[in-house]
Structure 1
Amino acid sequence: MDQTTSWGILAALAALIGGFLWEGGHWEGLVEKTALLIVFGGTFAAVAVSFPASRLKQIPESLKTAFRPSTPEISARIDEIVELATTARREGVLALENKIAEHQDSFIKNGLQIVVDGTDPELSRQILEFEIDAVEQRMENQAKIFESAGGYAPTMGIIGTVMGLIHVLSNLADPGTLGPAIAVAFTATLYGVASANIIYLPIASKIRIRAAESVQFTEMMLEGILAIQAGENPALIRKKLTAFMHTEELSFARPKEETEDGPETEQTPPKRA
Protein backbone atom coordinates (compact mmCIF):
# COMPACT_ATOMS: atom_id res chain seq x y z
CA MET A 1 0.00 0.00 0.00
CA ASP A 2 1.15 3.54 -0.76
CA GLN A 3 1.82 5.11 2.62
CA THR A 4 1.51 8.70 1.35
CA THR A 5 -2.14 8.31 0.30
CA SER A 6 -3.40 6.71 3.50
CA TRP A 7 -1.25 8.77 5.84
CA GLY A 8 -2.08 11.97 3.97
CA ILE A 9 -5.83 11.45 4.40
CA LEU A 10 -5.40 10.51 8.06
CA ALA A 11 -3.16 13.52 8.70
CA ALA A 12 -5.69 15.89 7.12
CA LEU A 13 -8.53 14.45 9.19
CA ALA A 14 -6.41 14.64 12.34
CA ALA A 15 -5.54 18.29 11.63
CA LEU A 16 -9.17 19.29 11.09
CA ILE A 17 -10.61 17.34 14.01
CA GLY A 18 -7.69 18.26 16.28
CA GLY A 19 -8.12 21.96 15.52
CA PHE A 20 -11.85 21.73 16.20
CA LEU A 21 -11.34 19.99 19.55
CA TRP A 22 -8.49 22.34 20.47
CA GLU A 23 -10.87 25.29 20.25
CA GLY A 24 -13.20 23.61 22.74
CA GLY A 25 -15.44 21.74 20.34
CA HIS A 26 -17.01 18.38 21.11
CA TRP A 27 -17.08 15.14 19.15
CA GLU A 28 -20.85 15.23 19.08
CA GLY A 29 -20.74 18.47 17.12
CA LEU A 30 -19.01 16.73 14.20
CA VAL A 31 -21.42 13.82 13.89
CA GLU A 32 -24.74 14.57 12.22
CA LYS A 33 -26.55 11.67 10.56
CA THR A 34 -28.78 13.83 8.40
CA ALA A 35 -25.83 15.77 7.00
CA LEU A 36 -23.96 12.52 6.30
CA LEU A 37 -26.91 11.15 4.37
CA ILE A 38 -27.45 14.32 2.34
CA VAL A 39 -23.79 14.91 1.46
CA PHE A 40 -22.46 11.41 0.85
CA GLY A 41 -25.73 9.94 -0.41
CA GLY A 42 -26.34 12.93 -2.68
CA THR A 43 -22.77 12.90 -4.00
CA PHE A 44 -22.92 9.20 -4.82
CA ALA A 45 -26.27 9.65 -6.56
CA ALA A 46 -24.98 12.58 -8.63
CA VAL A 47 -21.92 10.59 -9.68
CA ALA A 48 -24.14 7.63 -10.58
CA VAL A 49 -26.21 9.88 -12.84
CA SER A 50 -23.07 11.33 -14.46
CA PHE A 51 -21.37 8.06 -15.41
CA PRO A 52 -22.55 4.78 -16.93
CA ALA A 53 -22.57 1.63 -14.81
CA SER A 54 -19.55 0.24 -16.67
CA ARG A 55 -17.48 3.18 -15.44
CA LEU A 56 -18.84 3.02 -11.89
CA LYS A 57 -17.74 -0.61 -11.67
CA GLN A 58 -14.16 0.66 -11.98
CA ILE A 59 -14.33 2.49 -8.63
CA PRO A 60 -12.78 -0.42 -6.63
CA GLU A 61 -9.98 -0.66 -9.19
CA SER A 62 -9.54 3.12 -9.00
CA LEU A 63 -9.08 2.95 -5.22
CA LYS A 64 -6.52 0.18 -5.64
CA THR A 65 -4.66 2.41 -8.09
CA ALA A 66 -4.63 5.32 -5.64
CA PHE A 67 -3.48 3.24 -2.66
CA ARG A 68 -1.16 0.76 -4.36
CA PRO A 69 2.63 1.24 -4.40
CA SER A 70 4.32 2.98 -7.29
CA THR A 71 5.46 1.21 -10.44
CA PRO A 72 7.58 -1.96 -10.12
CA GLU A 73 11.32 -1.82 -9.60
CA ILE A 74 12.74 -0.41 -12.83
CA SER A 75 16.22 -1.90 -12.50
CA ALA A 76 14.76 -5.39 -12.12
CA ARG A 77 12.62 -4.94 -15.23
CA ILE A 78 15.64 -3.65 -17.19
CA ASP A 79 17.61 -6.74 -16.16
CA GLU A 80 14.74 -8.87 -17.37
CA ILE A 81 14.56 -7.17 -20.75
CA VAL A 82 18.34 -7.44 -21.19
CA GLU A 83 18.13 -11.14 -20.38
CA LEU A 84 15.42 -11.57 -23.00
CA ALA A 85 17.55 -9.67 -25.51
CA THR A 86 20.51 -11.95 -24.76
CA THR A 87 18.35 -15.03 -25.34
CA ALA A 88 17.07 -13.60 -28.63
CA ARG A 89 20.61 -12.82 -29.82
CA ARG A 90 21.93 -16.26 -28.95
CA GLU A 91 19.02 -18.51 -29.89
CA GLY A 92 16.84 -16.33 -32.12
CA VAL A 93 13.55 -14.58 -31.39
CA LEU A 94 11.62 -17.86 -31.61
CA ALA A 95 13.36 -18.90 -28.39
CA LEU A 96 11.33 -16.17 -26.62
CA GLU A 97 8.16 -18.16 -27.19
CA ASN A 98 8.95 -20.23 -24.10
CA LYS A 99 9.17 -17.03 -22.02
CA ILE A 100 5.75 -15.74 -23.04
CA ALA A 101 3.59 -18.20 -21.09
CA GLU A 102 5.55 -17.81 -17.85
CA HIS A 103 5.68 -13.99 -17.84
CA GLN A 104 3.36 -12.13 -15.44
CA ASP A 105 3.27 -8.75 -17.19
CA SER A 106 0.56 -8.67 -19.88
CA PHE A 107 2.25 -5.85 -21.83
CA ILE A 108 5.54 -7.73 -22.12
CA LYS A 109 3.68 -10.93 -22.99
CA ASN A 110 1.86 -9.19 -25.83
CA GLY A 111 5.04 -7.48 -26.98
CA LEU A 112 7.04 -10.69 -27.03
CA GLN A 113 4.24 -12.44 -28.94
CA ILE A 114 4.33 -9.69 -31.54
CA VAL A 115 8.11 -10.09 -31.84
CA VAL A 116 7.88 -13.88 -32.16
CA ASP A 117 5.16 -13.55 -34.80
CA GLY A 118 7.54 -11.51 -36.95
CA THR A 119 5.33 -8.41 -37.08
CA ASP A 120 6.68 -5.38 -38.93
CA PRO A 121 8.56 -3.12 -36.44
CA GLU A 122 6.49 -0.03 -37.28
CA LEU A 123 3.25 -1.96 -36.90
CA SER A 124 4.57 -3.45 -33.64
CA ARG A 125 5.14 0.05 -32.28
CA GLN A 126 1.65 1.16 -33.30
CA ILE A 127 -0.03 -1.86 -31.69
CA LEU A 128 1.83 -1.45 -28.41
CA GLU A 129 1.28 2.32 -28.36
CA PHE A 130 -2.45 1.77 -28.82
CA GLU A 131 -2.33 -0.51 -25.79
CA ILE A 132 -0.54 2.18 -23.77
CA ASP A 133 -3.10 4.78 -24.88
CA ALA A 134 -5.96 2.49 -23.81
CA VAL A 135 -4.48 2.07 -20.32
CA GLU A 136 -3.87 5.80 -20.01
CA GLN A 137 -7.44 6.58 -21.08
CA ARG A 138 -8.89 4.04 -18.64
CA MET A 139 -6.99 5.58 -15.73
CA GLU A 140 -8.03 9.07 -16.79
CA ASN A 141 -11.66 7.92 -16.76
CA GLN A 142 -11.13 6.59 -13.24
CA ALA A 143 -9.72 9.94 -12.10
CA LYS A 144 -12.70 11.80 -13.60
CA ILE A 145 -15.12 9.88 -11.37
CA PHE A 146 -13.44 11.16 -8.20
CA GLU A 147 -12.91 14.60 -9.69
CA SER A 148 -16.64 14.73 -10.39
CA ALA A 149 -17.40 13.66 -6.81
CA GLY A 150 -15.10 16.44 -5.60
CA GLY A 151 -17.23 18.94 -7.52
CA TYR A 152 -20.59 17.62 -6.32
CA ALA A 153 -19.74 17.18 -2.61
CA PRO A 154 -19.42 20.89 -1.66
CA THR A 155 -22.67 21.64 -3.52
CA MET A 156 -24.43 18.85 -1.65
CA GLY A 157 -23.04 20.34 1.55
CA ILE A 158 -24.54 23.73 0.73
CA ILE A 159 -27.88 22.09 -0.10
CA GLY A 160 -27.82 20.31 3.26
CA THR A 161 -27.05 23.56 5.02
CA VAL A 162 -29.88 25.40 3.26
CA MET A 163 -32.29 22.61 4.15
CA GLY A 164 -31.13 22.83 7.77
CA LEU A 165 -31.61 26.60 7.82
CA ILE A 166 -35.11 26.19 6.43
CA HIS A 167 -35.85 23.93 9.37
CA VAL A 168 -34.31 26.48 11.77
CA LEU A 169 -36.35 29.38 10.37
CA SER A 170 -39.52 27.38 10.71
CA ASN A 171 -38.94 27.11 14.47
CA LEU A 172 -38.16 30.72 15.42
CA ALA A 173 -40.66 30.52 18.27
CA ASP A 174 -37.99 28.86 20.43
CA PRO A 175 -34.87 31.12 20.29
CA GLY A 176 -32.97 28.85 22.67
CA THR A 177 -32.66 26.15 20.03
CA LEU A 178 -31.46 28.40 17.21
CA GLY A 179 -27.73 28.19 18.00
CA PRO A 180 -27.43 24.39 18.10
CA ALA A 181 -29.74 24.00 15.11
CA ILE A 182 -27.68 26.40 12.98
CA ALA A 183 -24.49 24.59 13.99
CA VAL A 184 -26.02 21.29 12.88
CA ALA A 185 -27.06 22.86 9.57
CA PHE A 186 -23.52 24.04 8.79
CA THR A 187 -22.15 20.55 9.51
CA ALA A 188 -23.34 19.56 6.02
CA THR A 189 -21.14 22.24 4.43
CA LEU A 190 -18.22 20.97 6.49
CA TYR A 191 -18.77 17.41 5.27
CA GLY A 192 -19.03 18.49 1.65
CA VAL A 193 -15.98 20.75 1.52
CA ALA A 194 -13.82 18.45 3.67
CA SER A 195 -14.63 15.27 1.74
CA ALA A 196 -13.95 17.00 -1.59
CA ASN A 197 -10.57 18.41 -0.57
CA ILE A 198 -9.34 15.55 1.62
CA ILE A 199 -10.66 12.50 -0.22
CA TYR A 200 -12.12 12.93 -3.71
CA LEU A 201 -9.84 15.50 -5.37
CA PRO A 202 -6.57 14.17 -3.87
CA ILE A 203 -7.47 10.62 -4.99
CA ALA A 204 -8.19 11.89 -8.51
CA SER A 205 -4.80 13.63 -8.51
CA LYS A 206 -3.05 10.49 -7.25
CA ILE A 207 -4.67 8.36 -9.97
CA ARG A 208 -3.40 10.77 -12.63
CA ILE A 209 0.10 10.61 -11.16
CA ARG A 210 -0.07 6.81 -11.19
CA ALA A 211 -1.24 6.97 -14.81
CA ALA A 212 1.76 9.11 -15.79
CA GLU A 213 4.14 6.76 -13.99
CA SER A 214 2.53 3.71 -15.58
CA VAL A 215 2.73 5.21 -19.08
CA GLN A 216 6.39 6.15 -18.69
CA PHE A 217 7.24 2.75 -17.26
CA THR A 218 5.38 0.98 -20.07
CA GLU A 219 7.04 3.16 -22.70
CA MET A 220 10.38 2.04 -21.30
CA MET A 221 9.32 -1.58 -21.81
CA LEU A 222 8.10 -0.69 -25.31
CA GLU A 223 11.54 0.60 -26.26
CA GLY A 224 13.09 -2.54 -24.82
CA ILE A 225 10.77 -4.84 -26.78
CA LEU A 226 11.42 -2.97 -30.03
CA ALA A 227 15.16 -3.12 -29.36
CA ILE A 228 14.88 -6.89 -28.92
CA GLN A 229 12.99 -7.12 -32.20
CA ALA A 230 15.69 -5.06 -33.93
CA GLY A 231 18.38 -7.42 -32.61
CA GLU A 232 20.28 -4.70 -30.78
CA ASN A 233 23.20 -5.51 -28.53
CA PRO A 234 21.99 -6.28 -24.97
CA ALA A 235 24.64 -3.94 -23.53
CA LEU A 236 23.33 -1.06 -25.64
CA ILE A 237 19.76 -1.92 -24.67
CA ARG A 238 20.73 -1.69 -21.01
CA LYS A 239 22.37 1.66 -21.63
CA LYS A 240 19.29 2.97 -23.43
CA LEU A 241 16.81 1.79 -20.81
CA THR A 242 18.96 2.94 -17.89
CA ALA A 243 18.25 6.50 -19.07
CA PHE A 244 14.74 6.00 -17.76
CA MET A 245 16.13 5.72 -14.21
CA HIS A 246 17.87 9.08 -14.15
CA THR A 247 15.18 10.84 -12.16
CA GLU A 248 12.96 9.86 -9.26
CA GLU A 249 9.80 10.71 -11.17
CA LEU A 250 10.55 8.29 -14.01
CA SER A 251 10.88 11.33 -16.26
CA PHE A 252 12.43 10.67 -19.62
CA ALA A 253 16.09 11.51 -19.65
CA ARG A 254 17.58 11.87 -23.09
CA PRO A 255 19.48 8.63 -23.70
CA LYS A 256 22.93 8.83 -25.19
CA GLU A 257 24.34 6.24 -27.55
CA GLU A 258 27.74 5.94 -29.09
CA THR A 259 27.78 6.59 -32.81
CA GLU A 260 30.08 5.02 -35.31
CA ASP A 261 32.10 8.24 -35.34
CA GLY A 262 33.00 7.88 -31.67
CA PRO A 263 31.48 10.74 -29.64
CA GLU A 264 28.19 10.27 -27.91
CA THR A 265 25.17 12.03 -29.33
CA GLU A 266 21.96 12.82 -27.59
CA GLN A 267 18.80 11.22 -28.96
CA THR A 268 15.31 12.27 -28.13
CA PRO A 269 13.09 9.29 -27.33
CA PRO A 270 10.48 8.73 -30.03
CA LYS A 271 7.12 10.32 -29.35
CA ARG A 272 3.90 8.42 -29.57
CA ALA A 273 1.43 9.51 -32.18
Structure 2
Amino acid sequence: MDKKSNLDFNSVFGLLLAFVAVIGGQILEGGHAGSLIQAAAFLIVIGGTVGAVLLQSPIKVFVRGVKMAKWIFFPPNYSPQSLIKQIISWAHVVRKDGLLALEAYVPIVKDPLMKKGLQLLADGSAADKLRESMEIDISMLENQQRQSARIWEAAGGYAPTIGILGAVLGLIQVMENLSEPNLLGSGIAVAFVATIYGVGFANLVCLPIANKLKSIINEQLIMQEILVDGMAAIANGENPRFIESRLQGYCI
Protein backbone atom coordinates (compact mmCIF):
# COMPACT_ATOMS: atom_id res chain seq x y z
CA MET A 1 0.00 0.00 0.00
CA ASP A 2 2.98 2.28 0.38
CA LYS A 3 4.08 2.03 -3.24
CA LYS A 4 3.50 4.94 -5.58
CA SER A 5 1.86 4.52 -8.95
CA ASN A 6 2.93 6.14 -12.19
CA LEU A 7 2.05 9.66 -13.20
CA ASP A 8 -1.70 10.29 -13.25
CA PHE A 9 -2.11 11.70 -16.77
CA ASN A 10 -5.79 12.38 -16.13
CA SER A 11 -4.87 15.02 -13.53
CA VAL A 12 -2.19 16.53 -15.76
CA PHE A 13 -4.54 16.73 -18.74
CA GLY A 14 -7.40 18.13 -16.65
CA LEU A 15 -5.28 20.89 -15.13
CA LEU A 16 -3.73 21.85 -18.48
CA LEU A 17 -7.12 21.83 -20.20
CA ALA A 18 -8.61 24.13 -17.54
CA PHE A 19 -5.85 26.73 -17.87
CA VAL A 20 -5.68 26.50 -21.66
CA ALA A 21 -9.44 27.00 -21.84
CA VAL A 22 -9.30 30.15 -19.69
CA ILE A 23 -6.27 31.67 -21.45
CA GLY A 24 -7.50 30.55 -24.89
CA GLY A 25 -10.88 32.13 -24.24
CA GLN A 26 -9.17 35.38 -23.28
CA ILE A 27 -7.19 35.37 -26.54
CA LEU A 28 -10.24 34.47 -28.67
CA GLU A 29 -12.11 37.41 -27.21
CA GLY A 30 -9.36 39.70 -28.46
CA GLY A 31 -7.49 40.05 -25.19
CA HIS A 32 -3.85 39.35 -24.39
CA ALA A 33 -2.62 36.57 -22.16
CA GLY A 34 -0.16 38.99 -20.59
CA SER A 35 -3.00 41.08 -19.22
CA LEU A 36 -3.82 38.20 -16.86
CA ILE A 37 -0.41 38.47 -15.23
CA GLN A 38 -0.55 40.85 -12.30
CA ALA A 39 1.98 40.39 -9.49
CA ALA A 40 0.00 42.50 -7.01
CA ALA A 41 -3.19 40.52 -7.58
CA PHE A 42 -1.29 37.24 -7.30
CA LEU A 43 0.29 38.31 -4.01
CA ILE A 44 -3.04 39.41 -2.53
CA VAL A 45 -4.95 36.26 -3.48
CA ILE A 46 -2.32 33.57 -2.91
CA GLY A 47 -0.75 35.20 0.14
CA GLY A 48 -4.12 36.03 1.69
CA THR A 49 -5.49 32.54 1.05
CA VAL A 50 -2.43 30.78 2.49
CA GLY A 51 -2.50 33.10 5.50
CA ALA A 52 -6.17 32.38 6.17
CA VAL A 53 -5.64 28.61 5.91
CA LEU A 54 -2.62 28.81 8.24
CA LEU A 55 -4.73 30.73 10.73
CA GLN A 56 -7.37 28.00 10.89
CA SER A 57 -5.07 24.95 10.73
CA PRO A 58 -2.29 23.61 12.96
CA ILE A 59 1.03 23.78 11.17
CA LYS A 60 1.38 19.97 11.12
CA VAL A 61 -1.97 19.62 9.38
CA PHE A 62 -1.07 22.37 6.89
CA VAL A 63 2.32 20.86 6.01
CA ARG A 64 0.84 17.37 5.66
CA GLY A 65 -1.90 18.74 3.41
CA VAL A 66 0.64 20.45 1.15
CA LYS A 67 2.68 17.24 0.93
CA MET A 68 -0.45 15.25 0.09
CA ALA A 69 -0.96 17.44 -2.99
CA LYS A 70 1.59 15.28 -4.83
CA TRP A 71 -1.01 12.49 -4.74
CA ILE A 72 -2.88 14.39 -7.45
CA PHE A 73 -0.14 13.50 -9.93
CA PHE A 74 1.45 10.50 -8.18
CA PRO A 75 -1.31 8.79 -6.19
CA PRO A 76 -0.61 5.93 -3.79
CA ASN A 77 -0.93 2.50 -5.32
CA TYR A 78 -4.51 1.22 -5.48
CA SER A 79 -4.41 -2.45 -6.37
CA PRO A 80 -6.82 -4.52 -4.26
CA GLN A 81 -6.23 -7.63 -6.37
CA SER A 82 -2.49 -7.53 -5.67
CA LEU A 83 -3.17 -7.10 -1.96
CA ILE A 84 -5.61 -10.01 -1.92
CA LYS A 85 -3.05 -12.18 -3.70
CA GLN A 86 -0.46 -11.25 -1.05
CA ILE A 87 -2.85 -12.04 1.80
CA ILE A 88 -3.74 -15.42 0.31
CA SER A 89 -0.05 -16.27 -0.03
CA TRP A 90 0.37 -15.58 3.70
CA ALA A 91 -2.69 -17.73 4.42
CA HIS A 92 -1.04 -20.65 2.58
CA VAL A 93 2.20 -20.12 4.52
CA VAL A 94 0.30 -20.24 7.81
CA ARG A 95 -1.64 -23.31 6.71
CA LYS A 96 1.61 -25.09 5.91
CA ASP A 97 4.09 -23.81 8.51
CA GLY A 98 2.04 -22.07 11.21
CA LEU A 99 1.64 -18.43 12.28
CA LEU A 100 5.22 -18.10 13.49
CA ALA A 101 6.45 -18.49 9.89
CA LEU A 102 5.06 -15.02 9.13
CA GLU A 103 7.74 -13.44 11.32
CA ALA A 104 10.20 -13.83 8.43
CA TYR A 105 8.05 -11.44 6.35
CA VAL A 106 7.92 -8.64 8.94
CA PRO A 107 11.34 -7.07 8.10
CA ILE A 108 10.57 -7.20 4.37
CA VAL A 109 7.29 -5.27 4.54
CA LYS A 110 7.54 -1.45 4.46
CA ASP A 111 3.92 -0.43 5.04
CA PRO A 112 3.52 0.26 8.81
CA LEU A 113 -0.02 -1.15 9.05
CA MET A 114 0.90 -4.31 7.15
CA LYS A 115 4.04 -4.76 9.26
CA LYS A 116 2.01 -4.40 12.46
CA GLY A 117 -0.59 -6.92 11.27
CA LEU A 118 2.05 -9.49 10.37
CA GLN A 119 3.75 -9.06 13.73
CA LEU A 120 0.47 -9.48 15.58
CA LEU A 121 -0.26 -12.63 13.56
CA ALA A 122 3.21 -14.03 14.23
CA ASP A 123 2.71 -13.33 17.94
CA GLY A 124 -0.47 -15.41 17.90
CA SER A 125 -2.89 -12.55 18.62
CA ALA A 126 -6.59 -13.41 18.58
CA ALA A 127 -8.54 -12.19 15.56
CA ASP A 128 -10.68 -9.73 17.54
CA LYS A 129 -7.66 -8.19 19.28
CA LEU A 130 -5.78 -7.95 15.97
CA ARG A 131 -8.75 -6.25 14.31
CA GLU A 132 -9.22 -3.86 17.23
CA SER A 133 -5.56 -2.81 17.25
CA MET A 134 -5.31 -2.29 13.49
CA GLU A 135 -8.63 -0.45 13.23
CA ILE A 136 -7.43 2.10 15.80
CA ASP A 137 -4.43 2.83 13.57
CA ILE A 138 -6.65 3.05 10.50
CA SER A 139 -9.06 5.42 12.22
CA MET A 140 -6.27 7.74 13.35
CA LEU A 141 -4.60 7.75 9.93
CA GLU A 142 -7.88 8.42 8.15
CA ASN A 143 -8.65 11.30 10.51
CA GLN A 144 -5.22 12.86 9.92
CA GLN A 145 -5.50 12.54 6.15
CA ARG A 146 -9.01 13.97 5.99
CA GLN A 147 -8.00 16.92 8.17
CA SER A 148 -5.06 17.58 5.85
CA ALA A 149 -7.22 17.33 2.72
CA ARG A 150 -9.60 19.91 4.19
CA ILE A 151 -6.96 22.66 3.94
CA TRP A 152 -7.52 22.61 0.17
CA GLU A 153 -11.26 22.78 0.68
CA ALA A 154 -10.76 25.72 3.04
CA ALA A 155 -8.50 27.45 0.51
CA GLY A 156 -11.22 26.99 -2.11
CA GLY A 157 -13.63 28.80 0.19
CA TYR A 158 -11.33 31.68 1.09
CA ALA A 159 -9.78 32.41 -2.32
CA PRO A 160 -12.84 33.94 -4.07
CA THR A 161 -13.54 36.26 -1.12
CA ILE A 162 -9.90 37.35 -0.97
CA GLY A 163 -10.10 37.90 -4.74
CA ILE A 164 -12.95 40.32 -4.09
CA LEU A 165 -10.82 41.96 -1.41
CA GLY A 166 -8.09 42.42 -4.00
CA ALA A 167 -10.65 43.92 -6.38
CA VAL A 168 -11.74 46.44 -3.75
CA LEU A 169 -8.11 47.38 -3.05
CA GLY A 170 -7.61 47.94 -6.78
CA LEU A 171 -10.68 50.15 -6.97
CA ILE A 172 -9.47 52.14 -3.97
CA GLN A 173 -6.26 52.77 -5.90
CA VAL A 174 -8.34 53.91 -8.87
CA MET A 175 -10.37 56.32 -6.75
CA GLU A 176 -7.23 57.77 -5.19
CA ASN A 177 -5.70 58.48 -8.60
CA LEU A 178 -8.64 59.90 -10.55
CA SER A 179 -6.57 63.02 -11.17
CA GLU A 180 -3.78 60.93 -12.70
CA PRO A 181 -5.20 58.98 -15.65
CA ASN A 182 -1.93 57.16 -16.30
CA LEU A 183 -2.30 55.32 -12.96
CA LEU A 184 -5.90 54.27 -13.46
CA GLY A 185 -5.10 51.34 -15.74
CA SER A 186 -2.96 49.44 -13.22
CA GLY A 187 -5.54 49.87 -10.49
CA ILE A 188 -8.38 48.60 -12.66
CA ALA A 189 -6.23 45.68 -13.84
CA VAL A 190 -5.47 44.63 -10.27
CA ALA A 191 -9.16 44.90 -9.41
CA PHE A 192 -10.39 42.57 -12.15
CA VAL A 193 -7.43 40.19 -12.27
CA ALA A 194 -7.57 39.66 -8.49
CA THR A 195 -11.15 38.46 -8.86
CA ILE A 196 -10.12 36.10 -11.68
CA TYR A 197 -7.24 34.74 -9.57
CA GLY A 198 -9.50 34.18 -6.57
CA VAL A 199 -12.28 32.39 -8.46
CA GLY A 200 -9.85 30.51 -10.71
CA PHE A 201 -7.56 29.36 -7.90
CA ALA A 202 -10.56 28.07 -5.95
CA ASN A 203 -12.41 26.29 -8.74
CA LEU A 204 -9.55 25.15 -10.97
CA VAL A 205 -7.03 24.16 -8.29
CA CYS A 206 -8.12 24.01 -4.64
CA LEU A 207 -11.55 22.39 -4.78
CA PRO A 208 -10.59 19.78 -7.42
CA ILE A 209 -7.51 18.87 -5.35
CA ALA A 210 -9.62 18.57 -2.19
CA ASN A 211 -12.16 16.29 -3.87
CA LYS A 212 -9.52 14.11 -5.50
CA LEU A 213 -7.68 13.70 -2.21
CA LYS A 214 -10.93 12.57 -0.58
CA SER A 215 -11.37 10.00 -3.34
CA ILE A 216 -7.81 8.71 -2.88
CA ILE A 217 -8.28 8.50 0.89
CA ASN A 218 -11.41 6.40 0.33
CA GLU A 219 -9.47 4.07 -1.98
CA GLN A 220 -6.74 3.65 0.62
CA LEU A 221 -9.38 2.94 3.26
CA ILE A 222 -10.71 0.07 1.13
CA MET A 223 -7.19 -1.36 0.87
CA GLN A 224 -6.77 -1.12 4.64
CA GLU A 225 -10.12 -2.83 5.25
CA ILE A 226 -9.09 -5.67 2.93
CA LEU A 227 -5.85 -6.03 4.86
CA VAL A 228 -7.52 -6.11 8.28
CA ASP A 229 -10.28 -8.46 7.17
CA GLY A 230 -7.79 -10.81 5.54
CA MET A 231 -5.43 -10.89 8.50
CA ALA A 232 -8.28 -11.44 10.95
CA ALA A 233 -9.42 -14.38 8.81
CA ILE A 234 -5.88 -15.83 8.87
CA ALA A 235 -5.83 -15.45 12.65
CA ASN A 236 -9.10 -17.41 12.78
CA GLY A 237 -7.49 -20.21 10.76
CA GLU A 238 -9.96 -19.90 7.87
CA ASN A 239 -9.42 -21.70 4.58
CA PRO A 240 -7.43 -19.62 2.03
CA ARG A 241 -10.07 -20.22 -0.66
CA PHE A 242 -12.82 -18.94 1.62
CA ILE A 243 -10.70 -15.90 2.55
CA GLU A 244 -10.10 -15.09 -1.12
CA SER A 245 -13.77 -15.46 -1.98
CA ARG A 246 -14.76 -13.06 0.78
CA LEU A 247 -12.09 -10.48 0.00
CA GLN A 248 -13.09 -10.43 -3.66
CA GLY A 249 -16.31 -8.81 -2.48
CA TYR A 250 -14.35 -5.58 -1.98
CA CYS A 251 -13.53 -5.51 -5.69
CA ILE A 252 -17.08 -5.58 -7.04
TM-score by length of structure 2 reads 0.92
Find the counterpart in structure 1 of residue 108 from structure 2: 102
Q: C-alpha displacement at 1:169, in angstroms?
A: 1.1
Could you tell me which residue of structure 2 aligns to residue 217 of structure 1?
223
The answer to whether the 8 Å contact 1:108/1:225 transfers is no
In the alignment, structure 1 residue 69 sits paired with structure 2 residue 78: no
Shift of 1:175: 5.2
Name the structure 2 match of 1:81: 87
Instruction: Determine helix, strand or coil for the equivalent of 2:178.
Output: coil
Measured against aligned partners, the alpha-carbon deviations of 1:149-184 in whole angstroms (never above 9, x if no partner) come to 111111111111001001111222245764664233
Matches within 5 A, 1:1-273: 1-69=7-75, 71-174=77-180, 178=184, 181-246=187-252
Q: Deviations over 1:160-218 (max 9, x none)?
A: 10010011112222457646642331100100010000111111111111111110111
Cα deviation for residue 25 of structure 1 reads 0.6
Equivalent pair of 1:114/1:124 in contact (CA under 8 Å):
yes
RMSD: 1.6
Counterpart of 1:102 in 2: which secondary structure? Answer: coil
Mapped contact 1:161–1:188 kept (Cα < 8 A):
yes
CA contact (8 A) 1:71 1:213 kept: no
Separation in 2 of the partners of 1:79 and 1:9? Answer: 35
Moved more, 25-34 or 112-121: 112-121
What secondary structure is seen at the aligned counterpart in 2 of 1:159? helix
Measure how far apart 1:141 and its partner are: 0.9
Give % identity: 39
Mapped to 1, the partners of 2:110 and 2:27 lie a distance apart of 50
Total equivalences in the alignment? 246
Deviation, 1:99, is 1.0
Given that 2:83 and 2:223 are in contact with CA atoms closer than 8 Å, whether structure 1 keeps it comes out as: no
Render the CA deviation track for 1:57-101: whole Å, top value 9, x for unaligned: 213421123322353322222111111000001111011111111
Q: 1:58 aligns to what SS in structure 2?
A: helix
Residue 204 of structure 1 aligns to a residue whose secondary structure is helix
- 8 A Cα contact 1:43 1:149, kept in partner: yes
Choose 52-61 or 96-105, whichever is displaced more: 52-61
73-82 or 22-31, larger mean C-alpha shift: 73-82
CA distance in 2 between partners of 1:2 and 1:97 (Å): 35
Q: Which amino acid in the other structure matches residue 191 of structure 1?
A: Y
| Unpaired stretches in structure 2, ≥5 consecutive residues | 1-6
What letter matches 2:16 in structure 1?
Answer: L
Instruction: Name whichever of 88-97 and 73-82 sits farther off.
Output: 73-82
Report 1 or 2 for greater relative contact order, CA contacts < 8 Å, sequence distance ≥ 6: 2
Give 1 or 2: higher helix fraction: 2
| AA partner of residue 115 (structure 1) | L
